[in-house]
Structure 1
């Protein structure tokens, strides 16, 4: 076998020395150490007699670009809102989401490398041994990045919930701390189990190096390990999804705001669904380079909806402001059309900045003005058997007008 020949396609006898060792490494991976590498690796899918060339590489790359845009838009909007609104504090949950977005973007880039260098999106019989060796390497990297990314998203959401419950609801804070500790242990295990699962370590990252060893490497069962990682990820995601639903049940706020927040967590439910389908579709067929694209789809849904779930509650005040502004413009347009027809004569004068400065100011107006001052304060205030959320719009704050009016008149700032 010449060292400078073209690599053979998977399923055929090797053309090069590299092919020979890659096939030997593949045989050892499947527990067929006694097989002769010169015969090629024949345990994977073979081309049917009526096969016509097809590929999904372009569609996958387009999908990955859409994934990156979906990750960037809510993250950048969240950070811009934090930076532009002095009433909002840049906290640890924001740092966590920045790190999560960075890892998720890197995950997308790695999958593009799988397409370009590893033959992803092609049938396995159209992939060379050298391409498949690259496929295995980048697939290991992508697996690690995926579990780290979804864990960091959970960390950001948990830190956000902990910040809300700060100095108000001790059991929730303790629960958040315990959950954060479990996430930290999970990330450590992910890093170790996906990087040093073979002895020697390099055998787990390169089929060629694995085939060059005199004796087969000793490795943990990577499929069992992937199942364990997926199950823990599903359990953690379900717990995190249910926790805010229970918390919001005891929060006193307007019905519209509660519906919005519940809808945000429904988005999180889609992320959990993506993780579940990703787990169920791990072993689709022996045509790995072709069938793995369906796993990318559900993993992308998991990451994208997880990023949205982490950022939408922070963007809630902005979303509500936009909605109120739109309704106000529509209402103003209707009134303007009514003025043209003479309907404005029946309307009483409305107090505003252009009216008599000695006009009486009602307590409700003071409350609305004070409430508008800080739309992004995140805290809970315990009141009898309920917990009141401070991250409210002016509409929600008017419900507790007496408390706000008393606080403002006494010169004290509500606790965070």
Structure 2
């Protein structure tokens, strides 16, 4: 080990470089603190929003919610490791301006942070995959969801154990003196970090592509479309951060001044770790704003502000057929804001299309508390009068009741003479 100005270091300074242990050169330290202050706050607020929506508003705490909390703890652990490295002067400085003691601390940080980040990243992506299970019951789609789950779990498990047992003996991973011994055998940890970044990009692409086919089928107001596009737009940002981190890692594979180049890498980890949590919490934003600010997302509450729409008509006053509005219900099911209990029974008018007649409808809105899951309930009666081939008049009445949420509750349905697909 070289001795510089009476201090043991792991590298000798370049020729002509003036070493100053009291005021060393630093990079990405102030930027990292600023990013952490903003991103950690946003990530925590998003998590609180999700937990409040699921436990207080929806009263439905599910498996993926627990996995998100698990992911947040480990992503926070990763960032705390980075902050400790910055605070102790072990990250963002040249290796020849760091004492051996601080470099040993850096070695421990650089081992613990990737291990925690592998667990946190995997948990966040597993949470998204578990959430996607409710998007589409199609067997092919479900197969892709479970394939993505398998890829995430197996890949990040391999990364975790590859990093943990990269050296023989294991202690050489955090002890530079032990790592310098000729009997010590270590894997190329830079290659493992590179593989971790590539796996992150691949799994991000899989998770981004999974819901696209179903989302394209949704029909909803423009504000809601923009909101949904925003959800997946933010998700694509993690792909960008993973690519940037990969580009930054490439030079670090060939340089001995690891403590200097890792400063920029940690800065992007701070960004990506919090974005992962925010992406996991975006799915409940619609329900959250529907509860507190429905007009912001194009929804209408059941209070006085929605009176013009409480007669059973939508804003466009267009006619709808039985079985319509499926895309809206799909969105509600996707966001887990509504438990759909099936369509309006049509068994009593199954043979209606064999006759010629007249159909009239009456609808009465039953307004409930705006905080309930069924904000508006409709009681609808359909009066059917038809003639058979013997010119005998028969009249019947079919009554059905069903609860609708949000804008869907304001849309009347008129039987058009043909059974809609999916009707029972």
Q: Structure 2 length as normaliser, TM-score?
A: 0.67
* 1:71 maps to which of 25, 43, 48: 43
C-alpha deviation, 1:238, in angstroms: 0.8
Alignment equivalent of 1:324, drawn from 294, 313, 318: 294
Q: 1:94·1:156 contact (CA, 8 Å) conserved in 2?
A: yes
Q: Which structure has greater strand proportion? A: 2
Q: 1:190 to 1:396 in 2, by over 3 A?
A: farther
User: 1:313 and 1:402, CA in 2 relative to 1: closer, same or farther beyond 3 A?
Assistant: farther
Deviation per residue, 1:76-119 (Å, 9 max, x gap): 1110111112x452111101100000001111111122123352
Task: Give the Cα–Cα distance (whole angstroms) in 1 for the partners of residues 413 and 60 of structure 2.
Answer: 24
Aligned to 1:292: 262
Flag the 1:64–1:218 CA change in 2: closer, same or farther, 3 A: same
> Residue 245 of structure 1 contacts residue 262 of structure 1 at CA under 8 Å; is this kept in 2?
no
Deviation, 1:309, is 1.4
Equivalent residue of 1:251, what SS? coil
Higher helix fraction (1 or 2): 1
Counterpart of 2:422?
none
Task: Specify the alignment match of 2:111 in structure 1.
Answer: 140
1:229–1:133 CA distance, 2 compared to 1 (3 A) = same
SS in 2 for 1:313: helix
Return the alpha-carbon distance in structure 1 between the equivalents of residues 34 and 72 of structure 2.
19
User: For the residues of structure 2 that align with 1:308 and 1:322, how far apart are their CA atoms?
Assistant: 19
CA distance in 2, matches of 1:313, 1:45: 52
Change (3 A) 1:220 1:402: farther
Q: CA deviation at 1:216?
A: 2.9
**Paired residues of 2:65 and 2:127 also in contact (CA < 8 A):** yes
C-alpha deviation, 1:178, in angstroms? 1.7
> Cα–Cα, structure 1 residues 248 and 228, in superposed 2: closer, same or farther, change >3 Å?
same
CA distance in 2, matches of 1:62, 1:293: 14
Aligned to 1:222: 189
The unaligned stretches of length 5 or more in structure 1 are 1-9, 24-40, 329-334, 336-347, 352-360, 377-391, 404-416
Determine if the alignment matches structure 1 residue 305 to structure 2 residue 275.
yes
- Matching residue of 1:108: 79
Give the match for residue 248 of structure 1: 215
1:272 to 211, 217, 239: 239
CA contact (8 A) 1:119 1:289 kept: yes
- Measured after TM superposition, the shift of residue 170 of structure 1 is 2.5
CA distance in 1, matches of 2:239, 2:108: 27
